[in-house]
Amino acid sequence: MSRIDMNIMIVGTGYVGLTTGVVLAKLGKEKKISLTSYCIDSIQEKTEMINAGTPPFYEQGLEVLLKEVIKEKRLLASTHIAEFINDVDIIFICVGTPSRDDGSMDLQFIQSASRDIGNALRSAKSKPVICVKSTVLPGTTRNVVLPIIEKHSGKKVNHDFGIMATPEFLREGNAIHDNLHPDRIILGEMNERHGRIVEDFYEKLLSGVPLLRMSIESAELVKYTSNALLAMKISFANEISRLAETIPGVDVTEVMKGVGLDERISSKFLNAGVGFGGSCFPKDVSALVDFTKRQDLVPHLLQSILDINETQPIHFVNLLMKNIPEDLEDLTISVLGLAFKPGTSDMRHARSLKIIEHLKQIKKVKTIKVHDPIAMETAREELSNLKIDVTFSKTIEECIQDSDACLIVTEWDVYKKILPKTYQELMRNPFVLDGRRIYDKNEFSSKIKYKAIGLGEISKK
């Protein structure tokens, strides 16, 4: 890359887009590159919040960095692509790719973003490389994004603009860290020259990070394969955990520790629990199942990943009811943790919602009290959309007060610090059901009733 200034545009400023835009702007400063991130979103309210230095969602560490890059004018948000298109070298498409009810991918945002970029490109002088960062199935960049951009711009790929697939692998809750220290950068290219431009860009900002160049379709499939494999490890651990619960003395966490020390396996993503949620694993595995079927193949393993995950919240609620004395009526159940994982307010496909839905179907359950350190507002909205009535507790103590069982659903650090004696003193019938294995079973079982996912009857030594 001969120039040392390089401007980028992000289209879609959600979790991926905004954190990417902020981190690239920050890295530009660190590497002394004149780099402005133009962040485009179709929702004006979001762009106004961003320009005021307030992220539209919670993500650890984002607000501080956003304020910094806004103050230094390294990031600017807008609803208009055309305003900045002449100033940008690379455009990252980061809009959502949600799943439809049948599991297939909903491409409406990809289509609208491609159309908006195409329209803006029509009268532009710049020849940007357009990179699809959104998670899209193989063939989408070439057969959906590209024709729409060509049609609306009246221009030709490789001559007037470049097209690439550059999937994103960040984890919500760690998005800033993951953007700063990615394990790898995958560059799917159609044209060698454009691949080199984006490779040079990343090498300037993130030197030393493994970078793989490949075909567009391979890059698209890398993302789905990675997510399906990670989700598979979780569902695998959950299937083994159900078995573990039937064998006195067996603890799935000990088993997985032993298994994970095998270098070929690794202990990561082998934690048994109430299953995976979030905006990626459920929808990406569903989309891959649907895609595999459309290729006339049977997605045996992929389908099982989803089946185990869907039934794990039911299994958890069954485990609860098996451990509630039969004569107890009018139960009050506390749920600690609503966000799909710690460090985020995101409730998309959160297991808490499934668990609460199942609890609601049990006649004996009279009251459900819920708490989350960050996601209460999002949860209020989600639960009201589902027409599910629960009691929102402002504090942990208020949530567990006078309850008959406390379910650990999200492994927030604040819950890890609760002592057995707090449960003992506040609950009507002290019983903790640990869905995320956050407590030391020995410490808890001696003081109060403690059961956990993947824990066979605790052996009495």
Q: Which residues make up the interface to ligand NAD (CB under 6 A)?
A: 11-17, 40-43, 46, 94-97, 109, 112-113, 116, 134-135, 168, 170, 172, 279-280
Task: Choose between 56 and 456: whose C-beta lies nearer to ligand NAD.
Answer: 56
The nearest distance, CB 96 to ligand NAD, in angstroms, is 3
For ligand NAD, which residue has the nearest CB? 14
**Residue (of 376, 424, 418) closest to 402 by Cα position:** 424
Smaller CB separation from ligand NAD, 226 or 311: 226
For residue 449, the tally of other CB atoms under 10 A from its CB is 17
| Nearest alpha-carbon partner for 211 in 258, 152, 169, 240 | 169
* DSSP designation for 86: G
- Minimal distance in Å, beta carbon 136 to ligand NAD? 7
| 8 Å CB contact between 168 and 175 | no
Helical segments of 91-143, H only: 108-122, 140
**Residue number, 91 or 455, with CB nearest to ligand NAD:** 91
- DSSP SS3 for 419: coil
First vs last Cα of the chain: how many Å apart? 67
Between residues 13 and 403, which has the closer beta carbon with respect to ligand NAD?
13
Rank residues 13 and 410 by Cβ distance to ligand NAD and give the closer one.
13
Order of all β-strands in the sheet with 75-78: 75-78, 37-40, 8-11, 90-93, 129-132, 162-165, 185-189, 211-215
Residue 240 beta carbon to ligand NAD: minimum distance, rounded to whole angstroms: 26
Does the CA dihedral 108-171-282-287 come out positive or negative?
Answer: positive
Smallest separation, CB 234 to ligand NAD (Å):
15
Min dist CB 48 to ligand NAD, Å, is 13
Q: In 3D, which of 22, 98, 91 has the Cα closest to residue 56?
A: 22
134 versus 334: smaller Cβ distance to ligand NAD: 134
Rounded-to-10 torsion of CA 93, 173, 334, 445: 140
How far apart CA 444 and CA 299 sit, in angstroms, is 41
Query: At its nearest, how many Å lie between ligand NAD and the CB of residue 277?
Result: 11
- Residues annotated catalytic, as ranges: 280
How many other CB atoms are there within 10 angstroms of residue 244's CB atom? 22
